[in-house]
Chains A and B, each alone.
Chain A
Amino acid sequence: AQKVTQAQTEISVVEKEDVTLDCVYETRDTTYYLFWYKQPPSGELVFLIRRNSFDEQNEISGRYSWNFQKSTSSFNFTITASQVVDSAVYFCALREYSNTGKLIFGQGTTLQVKP
C-alpha cells in the first residue's frame, strides 16, 4: 500500500535559518510521482514541485531545494535563508501511476518562521 510520512509535525525557526522538511514514502510501484505543496494561511494548496521515480536529480529553485533518494525512499525539502513568508503548512504527496492516479498526502509539517 502507498503511504507518505512526514514525521515533523511542527518546526519553528528564526528568519534566515535553513530548514529541512522530511518526507518518507512507501510504494510497490516502480513508476510514481512525488509532490510538495504549500498551504499558506489562506488555505489554498499551492503546487511547488513534482518528481518522477526515474529522475533522482536534485532540484534547486531559488531558496528551495529538493533531495530525492530512492535508496531511502525519501524526498526532503530544504528552504535556505528562511523568511516569514515561508510560514505555512507543507505537504508531501505520492501518486502511483497504476493506482488510479490518486494523490496520497502525508500528515503535513507546520513551519513557523519568526522574525
Chain B
Amino acid sequence: DVKVTQSSRYLVKRTGEKVFLECVQDMDHENMFWYRQDPGLGLRLIYFSYDVKMKEKGDIPEGYSVSREKKERFSLILESASTNQTSMYLCASSLERTGAGGYTFGSGTRLTVV
C-alpha cells in the first residue's frame, strides 16, 4: 500500500515562527501536493510538485513556500506563521501527472498558530 506520512498530527506554534510541515511518501510517486482544509471551504491547493526541485503554485500560495530536495519528501514552509494559517494541512501524492489517477493522502497535520 502507498503510504503518505506527515510527521506531526498536531502542532502549536507562535505567531511569527517559521514552521516546517514534513511529508514523506514511500511509493516513488513523482507528484506531491499540499492542501489546507477549512470548514465550509473544502480542500484548497497550496503548492504542488511534479519532480525533485520543481514546484508550482496552487490556488492559495501566499504566505507559504515548499521544498522538494528528494523525490519522497515534500515540505511545506510557513515563513512567518500567522493566526489565519491555523488549519488542517493535508499532503498527497499521485503516480500520474494527468489522467485517471487519484491521490493518496496523509492523515493531516492540525496546526494552531497562537
By a beta-carbon cutoff of 8 Å, the part of chain A in contact with chain B is: 4, 6, 9, 33, 35, 37, 42-45, 47, 50, 52, 91, 95, 97-98, 100-108
B107 within 8 A of A: yes
Distance of A100 Cα from B48 Cα, bound (Å) = 10
Total A-B Cβ pairs within 8 A: 65
**Residues from 23 to 55 in B contacting A, C-beta threshold 8 Å:** 31, 33, 35, 40-45, 48, 50
B100 and A50 within 8 A (CB):
yes
| Closest B residue, CB atoms, query A45 | B105
Q: How many residues of B contact A (CB 8 A)?
A: 32
Question: How far apart are A109's CB and chain B's nearest CB, in angstroms?
Answer: 10
User: What's the Cα separation between A80 and B94 when bound, in Å?
Assistant: 31
Which residues of B43-99 are within 8 A (CB) of A? 43-45, 48, 50, 56, 58, 88, 90, 92, 94, 96-99
Q: Which residues of A have CB within 8 Å of B45?
A: 102-104
Closest Cβ–Cβ distance, residue B106 to chain A (whole Å): 7
* Chain A residues closer than 8 Å to B48, beta-carbon distance: 100, 102
Seed contacts A95-B102, A105-B43, A107-B42; 7 additional CB < 8 Å A-B pairs: A45-B92, A91-B43, A100-B48, A100-B98, A101-B31, A101-B98, A102-B45
